[in-house]
Chains A and B, each alone.
Chain A
């Protein structure tokens, strides 16, 4: 299981990357920052960084507009 934003839970599977998680959550916004267990993940690593089961992922969307 993976926890997203200290609230949502997502089924973990072998080889799941940060990008897979973003896709599954429908998070396609441009101004986002991702941390996995409080470590900041650079954007270029989203499709290679593999999540471990039990990870705590925070996907922070910075507001714009309005």
Chain B
């Protein structure tokens, strides 16, 4: 049963089409030439020039329709060359030719439509300029749809209609994105600036424009970055059992809809405006909540604007078990206002909560606060204390590593358990993804130079869901390429989001291993580099540029007393189930199955404790193997220190660097 397809007839030939597609695209896919003037592939169809008319027959009735904005909903028969069609097109083309006789695109259209008489519609309006504005409207729509601005518009009516900026003056709101010039078919709009003296401004513009067009046409059906920003990821992570809940114990929760993107959009995000990090970003994924009334803290009672929330902030709320939209806004606002990171605070609070629920700490320690999962008011209290420098909040502000030490020393709290559940590596709190079912991501987190942040590598889908990098070598390769590729964005001051938060429609045609890299976008970034510096770039050169910095960072870590294998060791919560409750929640679906099929031990009749121990032993071994493979691929020793040969290869074997690592060589 083909529900999304219908059969239509084009000039007598039957063809199957996808319901709701616009007729023009279908005609062109079927090799039918159709003249158009107001149509642009990256813009919403306008239906104003009427050149694209065809005659359709539906339910026995014939009529002319503009094919560019005619959605196919039922069975129709299309005639693209009927006398009516030809006559209609010819008359229009003659009129256009009479008005703009020297504009090449008009001449082309006239030739296609058989309009030869230049003088038939000659009048005082005739404009002999080759680059005349033909009022096609592309620029107006590009300004709106590519960059969500409304700088350009038509003014005047009838024959006096012309394209202009408001009141005919240069509008200071114009961001100079050049989208209007890019789509203009006649060259009526010219770009004159080349700020920052790039080597080849046009190259940068052309490739940038491709991405602007993708944002305008594809984002709404892909990641909805323009509509809800990164908050869309909350919905995805919950659906895939990856949203951290209760200090990363679980991956989803029944109350997630209280903080997901649908709720944020319906109840909070107020401005339907572009809100980019810089004016001119066509993704503009930052979102804003206006008029939110605070219920706590120094600004209690004030109505404020909240910048966000981003995925990580909403996920941090889930991690603390605080599935409450108002809490999320207040938490986001105060973290921003106090200048603390929503991720570190959230992950640290989640740890505190689990310690509290397990009796490792009590109300005496927390200053009377009942810090159980979901304790929204208490989290905010802690946050205010942290900022004011008083009470228990001060300790929380010191982070998990500090708390583990202090509570073991002063309270005799179970150090091993705290080590297992305290989600930090190198002293930095984990960002908000559950990685225990993805071996590659476990290492992606721990091996990141700055600590467990996913901006060096996010491999969960490739590894856990797609099973695309099954062997240790595959994982090591991913742990080589992605951190270097992502480091490269930082080196060049380029945003990562346009790399894979919108992808070209053709990305689907690549085999998975390549598709994951989004090859067309990698190429776009290489062109940005070339346009700016004049130096062409390829994958090898890019990887080398990054590897120099990445290795330098690792050597610096070593200098600071980190940067060896022990610093790349995760808490067990990041690798597998620490508690019986956690094990049982995925026992049937995952852990028991893995034990039988992968470890080769029959779980029947074994207690949860026994099974947890077997799983743990296996997982820790696997983790160490993946780290070995990744170190090898990176040219590091078994202890995770760059080999001197590797520094030589990269041309950074400076004596002062070699000095730091020489005793670590194998």
User: Which stretch from B84-92, B112-120, B174-182, B455-463 is at the chain A interface?
Assistant: B455-463
Cα separation A15 to B240 with both chains bound (whole Å): 26
Query: Does the CB pair B512–A58 fall under 8 Å?
Result: yes
The reply to whether B503 and A62 form a contact with Cβ atoms under 8 Å apart is yes
Which residue in chain B gives the minimum CB-CB distance to A26?
B239
Secondary structure class of chain A's binding surface, majority of residues: loop
Q: With a CB–CB cut-off of 8 A, which chain A residues contact B458?
A: 63, 65-66
- Of A28, A48, A65, chain B has the most CB atoms within 10 Å of the CB of A65
Measured CB to CB, the nearest residue on chain B to A8 is: B467
Per-residue contact bits, chain A 22-66, to B (CB 8 Å; 1 contact, 0 not): 000010111101000000100011011000000000111111111
| B516–A63 touching, CB < 8 Å | yes
Let me know if B500 is at the binding interface, CB within 8 A.
yes
Q: Is the CB of B508 within 8 A of A33?
A: yes
- Shortest C-beta distance, B154 to chain A (Å), equals 36
19 A-B pairs, CB-CB below 8 angstroms?
Answer: A6-B470, A29-B236, A33-B512, A33-B515, A44-B18, A45-B2, A47-B1, A48-B5, A60-B515, A61-B461, A62-B461, A62-B507, A62-B516, A63-B460, A64-B503, A65-B223, A65-B232, A65-B458, A66-B233
- Total chain B interface residues with beta-carbon distance under 8 A: 40
Measured between C-beta atoms, what is the minimum distance from A33 to chain B in Å? Answer: 5
Q: Is the CB of A61 within 8 A of B466?
A: yes
Chain A residues within 8 Å of B433, by CB: 66
Contact A60–B500 (Cβ < 8 Å): no
B311 at the interface (CB under 8 A from A): yes
Q: Which of A31, A33, A45, A66 contacts B454 (CB 8 A)?
A: A66
Known: A61-B466, A66-B455. A48 touches B4 (CB 8 A): yes
Instruction: For the A-B complex with A26-B240, A29-B236, A64-B500 known, give 20 more contacts whose Cβ atoms are closer than 8 Å.
Output: A5-B466, A6-B467, A7-B467, A29-B240, A30-B223, A31-B223, A33-B515, A40-B509, A44-B4, A45-B2, A47-B4, A59-B466, A62-B507, A62-B516, A62-B518, A63-B458, A63-B460, A63-B516, A64-B501, A66-B233
Q: How far is the CB of A42 from chain B (nearest CB, A)?
A: 8
Answer whether residue B579 sits at the interface, using C-beta atoms and an 8 A cutoff. Answer: no
Q: Does B3 contact A (CB under 8 A)?
A: yes
B465 within 8 A of A: yes
- In the assembled complex, B271 has its CB within 8 A of some CB on chain A: no
The CA-CA distance from A4 to B431 in the complex, in Å, is: 30
Which residues of chain B are near A30, meaning CB under 8 Å? 221-223
Residues of A within 8 A of B459 (CB): 63
Q: Is B468 interfacial (CB-CB < 8 Å)? A: yes
Q: Which residues of A contact B3 (CB under 8 A)?
A: 47-48
CB-CB nearest in chain B for A50 = B1
From known contacts A29-B239, A33-B508, A60-B466, infer whether A65 and B516 are also in contact, taking CB-CB under 8 Å. Answer: no
Cβ contacts under 8 Å, A7 to chain B: 467
- Contact residues in A for B461 (Cβ distance below 8 Å): 61-63
> A-facing mask of B16-44, CB < 8 A → 1, else 0?
00100000000000000000000000000
| CB–CB B222/A63 < 8 A | no
The verdict on B230 contacting chain A, using a C-beta distance below 8 Å, is yes
Interface positions of B (Cβ within 8 A of A): 1-5, 18, 221-223, 230, 232-233, 236, 239-240, 311, 431, 433, 454-455, 458-462, 465-468, 470, 500-501, 503, 507-509, 512, 515-516, 518
Chain A's closest residue to B432 (CB) is A66
The closest CB in chain A to the CB of B482 belongs to A63
Q: How far is the CA of A62 from the CA of B465 in the complex (A)?
A: 10
Contact, CB under 8 Å: B515 / A62 = yes
What is the chain A residue whose CB lies nearest that of B237? A65
Known A-B contacts A6-B470, A31-B222, A33-B512; A65 and B240 likewise in contact (beta carbons under 8 Å) = no
Question: Chain A nearest CB: distance from B383 CB in Å?
Answer: 25
Cβ-closest chain A residue relative to B17: A44
Residue of B nearest to A58 (CB): B512
Contacts of B468 in A (CB 8 A): 5, 60
CA–CA, A59 and B468, complex, Å: 10
Min CB distance, A30 to chain B, in Å? 6
Interfacial chain A residues near B311, Cβ < 8 Å: 65
B239 touches A44 (CB 8 A): no
Q: Tell which of A29, A33, A63 touches B500, judged by Cβ atoms closer than 8 Å.
A: A63
Cα A53 to Cα B224 in complex, Å, equals: 36
- A6–B515 alpha-carbon span in the complex (Å): 18
Q: A63-B458, A63-B460, A65-B311 are in contact. Are A5 and B465 (CB under 8 A)?
A: yes
* Assembly CA distance A20 to B302 (angstroms): 50
- Option from A26, A44, A62, A65 in Cβ contact (under 8 Å) with B230: A65
Chain B positions within 8 Å of A63 at CB level = 458-462, 500, 516
Residue of B whose beta carbon sits closest to that of A65: B233
Nearest 9 CB-CB pairings of A with B:
A66-B458, A61-B461, A65-B233, A5-B467, A60-B512, A48-B2, A44-B4, A63-B461, A7-B467
Residue of B nearest to A17 (CB): B1
Q: How far is the CA of A46 from the CA of B18 in the complex (A)?
A: 12
In-complex Cβ contact of A65 among B221, B501, B508 (8 A): B501
